[in-house]
Amino acid sequence: MAPPGPVVIVGAGIIGCASAYELAKAGCAVTVIERDTVGSEASSAAAGMLAPLGESTRSDPFQELALASWRLYPDTVAELRAVTGVDVEYTTTGTLHPLFTAEDVRAAGARCNSPLAKQMGLALLEGQEVFEREPAISKKARAALFVPGDHWVNNQRLTVAYAQAAAARGVTFRLGARVGEVMLERGRGVGVVAGGERVRADAVLITAGAWSGELTASLGSRLPVEPARGQMLALSHVPPLLKHCIHGADVYLVPRPSGELLIGATVERVGFVRAVTPEGIGSLIRSALEVVPDLADRPITRTWCGFRPWAPDSLPILGPWPGVPGLAVATAHFRNGILLAPITARLMKEVLVDGKPSLDLAPFLPDRFLK
Ligand SMILES: Cc1cc2nc3c(=O)[nH]c(=O)nc-3n(C[C@H](O)[C@H](O)[C@H](O)COP(=O)(O)OP(=O)(O)OC[C@H]3O[C@@H](n4cnc5c(N)ncnc54)[C@H](O)[C@@H]3O)c2cc1C
């Protein structure tokens, strides 16, 4: 079999870097073109939670995709560590959802009874059990739902680790070059125009995050991908107060081994307005103190925002561009792009090299928006 041809990837977020690594491992000559630097957008703004069950324990195609990616994590982080030496702070102590009302306790108890919840070890902790596990939780909590399978990583480090592993496999990174157009010849994707220069390839993969919509406008039919702004802040977590991720009604708290406690995140449809606001950061702080009051005097170390790539049905867009051989897209990962990076990269390698994905992509194909 002939070796797979060259591939150009647009965007060096986690999806572009992970896909570059998988394609290079399959023997492709890969060039990643990024208008800024590696991981400069959503992939660095994220909290890094790997929470495949989300709010539900209902089985659906999205959850199958999420669980498939979650299962790849232990081997992925070990492989990246072996290749690059980067410790991505993969942490597996699980999430606690403190419950403050009888109604919430009842709902959480019911949630624990689904077959998937049992398989994933969800448990309702009551009374003193909660404070034995996590003493800093508000004493107003009546109970807590424990989700042991919720893990997290340092997403900045993970994106860099993927990029370094890709570079070690010969991937070329062209940073500071904006892709203005995908080149088509006789109905095929044959490269891109970046910084005014034509870069030819056998295939183009668009992983431009929240900007994927504007890039696809040059193809005549625009994908409806839009930014969903998320604001976050970090507190000093030295000495540490929490061992678990804590999930309140409108807030989550993620303790990083490197000494920060991340608090996130708003979900706002305000376009590409790159700003944190008193309302956004203030509401996160108020909600965080309701679940862990002892954080009140911890220094705030930083605040930031990022743009999640969002599609109208909140599902990722993955797969070949209909009717255009040599063009594929992997975007709109919305709140789960860090979790979904390993499976997305594997699927994009399967689409572009093997021509056959190992999971049914039907619910995620770009076709659903391009009729
Ligand atoms: C506050 C916040 C918290 C989050 N928390 C989590 C979480 O806990 N767990 C989780 O799984 N996910 C989380 N996410 C979601 C996750 O961050 C995203 O889904 C994921 O990072 C998307 O990755 P990406 O590579 O598609 O996009 P990005 O990281 O945005 O990368 C896209 C890249 O493309 C580049 N680009 C764009 N246009 C062009 C062009 N024309 N030419 C060249 N380059 C271009 C951009 O500069 C950028 O670097 C969070 C997101 C936010 C904002």
User: What's the gap in Å between 209 CA and the centre of ligand 1?
Assistant: 5
Structure tokens at 121: 């070890």
Atom 15 in ligand 1: residue holding the nearest Cα: 335
Nearest Cα to Cα of residue 201 among 9, 22, 356: 9
| Residue 151 and residue 92 in contact, taking contact as beta carbons nearer than 8 Å | yes
CA atoms within 13 A on the CB side of 119: 9
Cα-based angle 106, 94, 47 (whole degrees, multiple of 5): 110
Bridge partners, residue 175, by sequence: 34
Instruction: Judge if the beta carbon of residue 35 lies within 6 A of ligand 1.
Output: yes
User: What's the gap in Å between 226 CA and the centre of ligand 1?
Assistant: 12
Instruction: Judge if the beta carbon of residue 13 lies within 6 A of ligand 1.
Output: yes
- According to CATH, where is 3.30.9.10 located in the chain? 95-148+227-310
User: What's the gap in Å between 129 CA and the centre of ligand 1?
Assistant: 38
Structure tokens at 366: 């770009």
Testing ligand 1's pocket by substitution, the residue of 19, 21, 41, 344 carrying the most ligand atoms inside 8 A of its CB is 41
Nearest Cα to Cα of residue 212 among 44, 330, 347: 330
The answer for residues whose C-beta is within 8 angstroms of residue 290's C-beta and 6 or more apart is 138, 248
3-state secondary structure of 201: coil
Burial category of 2 from C-beta neighbours within 10 Å (exposed 0-12, middle 13-18, buried 19 and up)? exposed
How many other CB atoms are found less than 10 A from the CB of residue 274? 12
User: What's the gap in Å between 99 CA and the centre of ligand 1?
Assistant: 31
Q: Which residues of 279-296 are buried (b: 16+ CB within 10 A; e: fewer)?
A: ebbeebbebbbbbbeebe
pTM (two decimals):
0.98
User: What's the gap in Å between 29 CA and the centre of ligand 1?
Assistant: 24
How many other CB atoms are found less than 10 A from the CB of residue 169? 18
Atom 2 in ligand 1: residue holding the nearest Cα: 46
3-state secondary structure of 306: strand
Q: Cα(313)–Cα(367) distance, rounded to whole angstroms?
A: 13
Instruction: Judge if the beta carbon of residue 230 lies within 6 A of ligand 1.
Output: yes
**Residue where the block lists tokens 């790997």:** 50
Q: Cα(298)–Cα(262) distance, rounded to whole angstroms?
A: 12
pLDDT at site 57: 62
The dihedral through the CA atoms of 211, 173, 45, 148 has a sign that is positive
Q: Going by DSSP bridges, is the β-strand pair 179-185/188-194 parallel, antiparallel, or unpaired?
A: antiparallel
Q: Cα(217)–Cα(88) distance, rounded to whole angstroms?
A: 36
3-state secondary structure of 219: helix
Instruction: Judge if the beta carbon of residue 98 lies within 6 A of ligand 1.
Output: no
- According to CATH, where is 3.50.50.60 located in the chain? 7-85+155-224+312-369
CATH assignment, 7-85+155-224+312-369: 3.50.50.60
Structure tokens at 193: 């125009």
Residue 62: its H or E element: helix 61-84
Testing ligand 1's pocket by substitution, the residue of 36, 308, 310, 348 carrying the most ligand atoms inside 8 A of its CB is 308
Residue 290: its H or E element: helix 278-291
CATH assignment, 95-148+227-310: 3.30.9.10
User: What's the gap in Å between 255 CA and the centre of ligand 1?
Assistant: 21
3-state secondary structure of 90: coil
Ligand 1 atom closest to Cα of residue 43: 21
Instruction: Judge if the beta carbon of residue 265 lies within 6 A of ligand 1.
Output: yes
Q: Cα(331)–Cα(209) distance, rounded to whole angstroms?
A: 6
Instruction: Judge if the beta carbon of residue 18 lies within 6 A of ligand 1.
Output: no
User: What's the gap in Å between 210 CA and the centre of ligand 1?
Assistant: 7
pLDDT at site 56: 64
Testing ligand 1's pocket by substitution, the residue of 233, 305, 338 carrying the most ligand atoms inside 8 A of its CB is 338
Instruction: Judge if the beta carbon of residue 191 lies within 6 A of ligand 1.
Output: no
CA 197 to chain centroid: 31
> Phi and psi of 275, rounded to 5°?
-155, 145
pLDDT at site 173: 98
Structure tokens at 295: 């954080």
User: What's the gap in Å between 43 CA and the centre of ligand 1?
Assistant: 4
Nearest Cα to Cα of residue 61 among 315, 343, 335: 315
pLDDT at site 44: 98
The one-digit pLDDT tens for each residue of the chain (371 residues) are 556 789 999 999 999 999 999 999 999 999 999 999 999 999 999 999 999 997 666 679 999 999 999 999 999 999 999 999 999 999 999 999 999 999 999 999 999 999 999 999 999 999 899 999 999 999 999 999 999 999 999 999 999 999 999 999 999 999 999 999 999 999 999 999 999 999 999 999 999 999 999 999 888 889 999 999 999 999 999 999 999 999 998 999 999 999 999 999 999 999 999 999 999 999 999 999 999 999 999 999 999 999 999 999 999 999 999 999 999 999 999 999 999 999 999 999 999 999 999 999 999 999 999 97
